[in-house]
Amino acid sequence: MKTAGAELVAGADPVLMPKACKNSTEIQGMKNAHIRDGVAEVNFLAWLDREVAADRLHNEAELSDQLLAFRQEQDLFQEVSFDTISAAGSNAAMCHYNHMNADEPAELQMDGVYLVDSGGQYLDGTTDITRTVAIGEAGDEIRRMFTLVLKGHIALDQARFPEGTTGTHLDGFARQFLWQQGYDFDHGTGHGVGCYLSVHEGPQRIAKALNATPLKPGMVLSNEPGYYKDGAYGIRCENLVVVKEAEGLPGNDKTMLEFEHITLAPFDLRLVDESLMTADEIEWLNAYHVEVRETLSPYLSDENQQWLEAATRAI
pLDDT band at 21; cut points 50, 70, 90: low
> 260-302: per-residue pLDDT in tens?
999 999 999 999 999 999 999 999 999 999 999 999 999 999 9
Q: What are phi and psi of 132, to 5 degrees?
A: -105, 125
CA distances from residue 112 to 92, 137, 139, 140, 232 in whole angstroms, order as listed: 10, 7, 8, 11, 9
Q: Strand 233-236 to strand 226-229: parallel, antiparallel, or no bridges (unpaired)?
A: antiparallel
Separation in Å, CA 301 to CA 2, 158, 209, 309: 9, 32, 44, 12
Measuring CA to CA, which residue among 306, 284, 293, 283 is closest to residue 35? 293
- Spatial distance between the Cα atoms of 133 and 120, rounded to a whole number of angstroms: 20
- The pLDDT tens digits for 167-192 are 999 999 999 999 999 999 999 999 99
Q: Before 203, cis peptide (omega within 30)?
A: yes
Where does the pLDDT of residue 247 fall: very low under 50, low under 70, confident under 90, or very high at 90 and above? confident
Candidates 3.40.50.10860, 3.90.230.10, 3.50.50.60, 3.40.50.300; CATH matching 23-311: 3.90.230.10
